[in-house]
A and B are shown apart, each in its own frame.
Chain A
Amino acid sequence: MTCEKARKNIPLIAGGELPERKARRLRRHLEECEVCRKELNEFRAALAGLRNFAREGEQDWEKEEWENLMQRVIAEKPEPRGPALGLSTRKGWAYGFLILLVLGLAAIFFQTMLSHRNSFEAGEKITLTQAQPSRRFRAEDSVVPRVEDTPFIARAPKQKRPRAEPALQAALPEDVPAQERLNVTLISKASGLRVHWTFDKNFEWKETGR
């Protein structure tokens, strides 16, 4: 340990407040360094002098003064709860802030939950419509799955199917056979927007909307 570092720790070792590990290193240094040892002795002497003189001059109350004070004190009414240490205001602010934070987080959480629910309700419904069979094929030759057999179909309102047909026909060339087409219509409940997807056999698609 250097003298410079030792000087930083001497005020604390003089009163025994230095952690043991540091104190051990400092003591090793003090054994070798007379200047630092002298410095430590000066600190100890100064503290001892202050303690002796300060404790000798301890103040006391006059008997009458003390009695009057006690009379005044006990005439007070004790509070059920209160800021004896002057800390309750700070604690109050801290608790208030915590409550606001919790309420804020709860509000954000519920808002998120609600918006998820709304988006589900007002979201698009996917309808899968069966394409009209091509003139070159008979209906029974078609391998397009029936609407009822498709597990992911939400709803296929009959009255909406004819409206989608012109768009489907425009999307793919007319010579594509029906069994090679798959038509999907997305209808937004909120805006009424319809999106038609027509997939060919390679699942390449074209989109038309109206």
Chain B
Amino acid sequence: MIELVLRGNAEAFEPLVTPYRKTILSLAYRLSRDREDAKEISQDTLLRAFRYLRTYDKKRSFKNWLLQILVNAWRSRQKRKPEAESPEQFLPRSSEGDPEERHSREETRTQLLDCLDGLSPREKEVLLLRDIEDRSIKETAIILGSSPLSVRVHLSSARKKLKERIKEKFPYLIEGRR
């Protein structure tokens, strides 16, 4: 597929990135916590990926390459843009199940993601890549351009902070109740 795009068949880019469209948008949203920002970061990621596809090393995972571009796009955006005053959140899309329960779960999800706001940018990146995106320590280190040791250190401190916040806000999650 990559070869097709490189040979000039630009249409082949869409099926190449479609499997990662949710991952890209979700990670961008979890990082930025703002719907519009998330879309712009994702758009920037895909534009850069298409523009510089020739530099992609085929020995690497394509998903990790995309995630690396995304993290860099987020970092660049953070430098340019000051803290958002009132982040715009994604509204629940699912229409399955009891609306009240759905609303309650959506509320919990939002508050859980709010717990990430207390983390430093690096802790947030490490935690999201390792614990949500299931990247290994080595992959996370490559994506973030740091060392596995640094990833472990940030991961440990991020989990400590997160656990304390969850314990405080959602004690029932810690006790195993829903």
Contact = CB atoms under 8 A, between A and B. Distances in A.
Nearest to B166: A46
Given A12-B152, A45-B175, A79-B54, 15 more contacts: A11-B155, A11-B156, A12-B156, A45-B174, A46-B173, A47-B131, A49-B173, A58-B26, A60-B93, A65-B39, A69-B42, A70-B14, A73-B46, A76-B51, A84-B55
A50 to B, nearest CB: 6
Contacts of B42: 69
Contacts of B105: 53, 56
A158 interface: no
Interface residues of B, number: 63
Contact of B10 (A61, A66, A74): A74
Contacts of B75: 86
B62 to A, nearest CB: 12
Choose among B49, B50, B175 the residue with the greatest number of A CB atoms under 10 Å from its CB: B50
A114 B9 CA distance: 58
B145 interface: yes
Q: Classify the interface of chain B: helix, strand, loop or mixed.
A: helix
B19 interface: no
A15 B46 contact: no
B112 A49 contact: yes
B159 A15 contact: yes
Contacts of B82: none
B90 A74 contact: no
A54 B51 contact: no
Interface in B11-28: 11, 13-14, 21-23, 25-26
Contacts of B115: 50
Contacts of A51: 131-132
B165 to A, nearest CB: 9
Interface string A102-140: 000000000000000000000000000000000000000
A174 interface: no
25 contacts: A11-B155, A15-B131, A15-B159, A17-B152, A45-B173, A46-B167, A50-B166, A51-B131, A55-B132, A59-B25, A59-B38, A60-B25, A61-B21, A69-B43, A72-B47, A73-B50, A74-B14, A74-B50, A78-B50, A79-B51, A82-B51, A84-B56, A85-B69, A85-B72, A86-B75
A60 B21 contact: yes
Contact of A46 (B14, B25, B163): B163
B159 A43 contact: yes
A17 B141 CA distance: 13
A49 B109 contact: no
Interface in A71-96: 72-74, 76-87
